[in-house]
Chain A
Amino acid sequence: MSVVIVKEKYASKVGEVVLGATSDQGGTRTSTVTVGGDSTLPYLHFEGQMPNRPVIAMEVNDIPPTWSEAITKQYGDVFADPALWAKKCVDEFGADLIYLKLDGADPEGLNRSPEDCARVLKEVLAAVGVPLIVEGCGDTAKDNEVMVAIAEAGAGENLLLGVAEQDNYKSLAAAAMVHKHTVIARSPLDINICKQLNILINEMGLPLNKIIIDPTVAGLGFGIEYVYSILERARLGALGNDKMLSMPIICNVGHEANRCKEANMTNADFPEWGELDDRNILWESISASACLQVGTSILVMRNPIAVALVKKNIDELMSV
């Protein structure tokens, strides 16, 4: 007896967003990245299309990072030079995009000027051909200055600029509109605020295909199931024709997984946990895989071995 596969029909799909701009599009990237466009729940290729594969952005910082040695020893001597660091991520580790984090701007730290930050951006833009994601230091007032300078310095490059939040989105959205960039809209694990923020940004005049949503993520063991449920609701909203929830999703999984103690404690502290090198890779790659399973389009990652593992996972998930 033949079995008829029951297929779900969806009213709509996730919006498509293009990142980066080549020279004929007003930028200097050698290639662009397109994400989203999914018309099914993740990887149910028999029900709908996933025209664009998920991508990995690798994190580069403007100052040397305080990451676990399990990661830093794989990079060698690049941390003093963000351009060199970015180039290594692309050439050796296969990063699809570079995520440039401007921690050096932090008023509590080096307090670098917006001009210094813009200089770093230009160096990284010159070193690699992939599209860039740029995020400030996390100090709202300072980021409003820094990101305006970044938007101007990268005018026409269609950078993905982070982050717009419910109580601070106007300056970033305006800068993105003027200089032709895309923005990350971040909400604190709250689907209602996620939707509301998209509405607010869109009301300012930024089109929906210039927004990527970051519903916030947690590392494995620290609430990733809750993250999963929020991302799932966003995806079901998109497929159910909720235009204000239909943007592709970014997850900064490298940052979150590496905040977990399991990814950092030394072998001597917890000998029964096994080798730190393995733990660090697994914590980041499994956190990333969970995000992939629920339809994340852009993963921001740190550990190059974890990146390679997740790329393999993406290949398998995308092979029909």
Chain B
Amino acid sequence: MIIFGERINGMYTDIGDALRAKDPKPLQYWATKQEEGGAHYLDLNSGPAIPKEERAAAYEWMVNVVQEVCELPLVLDSTNYDAIEAGLKLCKRPAIINSVDAEPDKMDRVFTMAMQYNAGVVGLCMNKKGIPLDHDLRVAFAMEIVATADGYGLPMEDLYIDPLILPVNVAQEHALQVLETLRLVKTLSNPAPRTVIGLTNVSQKSPNNITNLLNRTFLAMAVSAGLDSAIMNANDDDLVDVAATTEILLGHKIYADSYLKVFRAR
């Protein structure tokens, strides 16, 4: 199970303020803290805090300040590919581009960049018409992305298919479709791509006292359906424990009494 720490995102007030004020401290605090929690990658997302024309400079700055304090590889999370490319040029370790959907012109730009900068790619199961409910259509988009990535020579372990989970409080019917998509993506191609979800989406706007429970429960379900990685809260210890325990119960890793400790060791 690969954990992408989600916290460095301009949607959070402290990060949004820091991005506008060019204050590296909050980003560096969360980089270190997420690494301690168990993150394997750090997702960087400026969010709407920065105007479009300043995004490229903002991603350069984010990559630099995070790399000053942290050895983890980065996930550059934006719909602005110029900003992503500016960040990729500065990454010291192979990064991941987050994300592309099943639109030919976007895929062309993203996979060309991925090959040039030795980066991975998150591929979303949607197109310009939006996110389908039905798992069949999600899988069809996934396979278009898989075939295109393969055509560019991207190894399947560098492609992360995201079936796109939506908040359960407004789109309850999506969870089951996401699980089915995960199962099919893992069976339809060999070698199969990796899979990822933005886990916290499932609990968006649900009351605080149940968000952790929703995240933890859905993570266990998704991993057993074929999920390899998640953009998630790396500082919810119970959530990280669920990831480790699910791996053990599925037989992905060999049990030892101290398996929780091993999961966090690098």
**CB within 8 Å of B: which residues of A?**
191-193, 195-196, 199-200, 203, 233, 237, 242-245
Contact = CB atoms under 8 A, between A and B. Distances in A.
Interface residues of B, number: 9
A244 B262 CA distance: 8
A192 B265 CA distance: 17
B256 A196 contact: yes
Contacts of B262: 195, 199, 243-244
A114 to B, nearest CB: 32
Contacts of A243: 262, 265
A195 B265 contact: no
Interface string B244-257: 00000000011111
A237 B254 contact: yes
Interface of B: 253-258, 261-262, 265
A191 B258 CA distance: 13
A238 to B, nearest CB: 10
B255 A192 contact: yes
A242 B265 contact: no
A195 B261 contact: no
A192 B261 contact: no
15 contacts: A192-B254, A192-B255, A195-B255, A195-B256, A196-B256, A196-B257, A199-B261, A199-B262, A237-B253, A242-B253, A242-B254, A243-B262, A244-B256, A244-B262, A245-B254
Contact of B254 (A195, A200, A203): A195
Contacts of A192: 254-257
A266 B265 CA distance: 54
Nearest to A192: B255
Given A195-B254, A237-B254, 13 more contacts: A191-B254, A192-B254, A192-B255, A193-B256, A195-B256, A195-B262, A196-B256, A196-B258, A199-B258, A199-B262, A200-B258, A233-B254, A244-B262
B254 A199 contact: no
Nearest to A202: B265
Nearest to A200: B258
B40 to A, nearest CB: 12
Contacts of A199: 256, 258, 261-262
Contacts of A196: 256-258
Contacts of A193: 256
A203 B258 CA distance: 11
A233 B255 CA distance: 12
Nearest to B261: A199
A244 B258 CA distance: 11
Nearest to B265: A243
A200 B262 CA distance: 11
Contacts of B261: 199, 203
Contacts of B255: 192, 195
A203 to B, nearest CB: 8
B80 to A, nearest CB: 33
A17 to B, nearest CB: 19
A195 B253 CA distance: 11
Contacts of B253: 237, 242
Nearest to B266: A243
B86 to A, nearest CB: 31
Minimum-distance CB pairs A-B, first 4? A195-B256, A196-B256, A199-B258, A192-B255
Contacts of B258: 196, 199-200, 203
A169 to B, nearest CB: 14
B247 to A, nearest CB: 11
Nearest to B258: A199
Between B253, B255, B261, the greatest number of chain A beta carbons within 10 A of the residue's beta carbon is seen for B253
A203 B261 CA distance: 10
B227 to A, nearest CB: 18
A201 B164 CA distance: 42
Contacts of A191: 254
